[in-house]
Structure 1
């Protein structure tokens, strides 16, 4: 029995906002509730509603820039930078910039719509 698994077929999460979400490990792909790892590309002008997730979220920016509003503080990350946002923190993610933002997101425990608690617009 192999003690490793190479993900060759990430789950592409269906979206309606132009954002690419490829989950490599997590509930949708490997039924792993402990952690999720996703490759994402947020198009220019993209944003999500505020949310208060029940998981820690780590983000590493590969290219472009991404804006975070954490509680009431605006934070902008650029390529090569990363951030950890603790669970139960109110946050909004967006890309108000002119270029796509490519990044890796890691959630612990794994991302789940039941745990993200997105606010209504």
Structure 2
């Protein structure tokens, strides 16, 4: 990471270890630069990927770069495609998945930063 008093260039994001095939590269946040105020991550969810429902204690913004991603928000199913974005308010029950045949590439921004202590994932 290159830092200057007025800016920071992220050249080596933290690659979050996963067991579900999802690629998570955190550019800024708790794991990368210890910033608990915001996290910015570049993600690739493989075809067929899903994670358990969760009720995060942070707002999450998602911008789809390629492919499609499914969201189940308080029982409502929403599918976003490349070029679309969504903000999900904190304390909202949500499930993220990619039940489609192509990987989904997207950016996720969390305020405050993503933390396992704040995500409140349900057991499967």
Give me the TM-score of the superposition, normalised by structure 2: 0.97
Match of 1:84 among 55, 80, 87: 87
In 2: Cα distance, 1:41 partner to 1:35 partner: 20
In 2: Cα distance, 1:67 partner to 1:78 partner: 9
Q: Which residue of 1 aligns with 2:57?
A: 54
Map 1:1-121 → 2, pairs under 5 A: 2-121=5-124
- Deviation at residue 3 of structure 1 after TM alignment: 1.1
In 2: Cα distance, 1:84 partner to 1:115 partner: 17
1:21 aligned counterpart, secondary structure: strand
Structure 1 residue ranges without an equivalent (≥5): none
In 2: Cα distance, 1:82 partner to 1:5 partner: 25
Displaced runs of 4 or more, over 2 A: none
Count of aligned pairs between the two proteins: 121
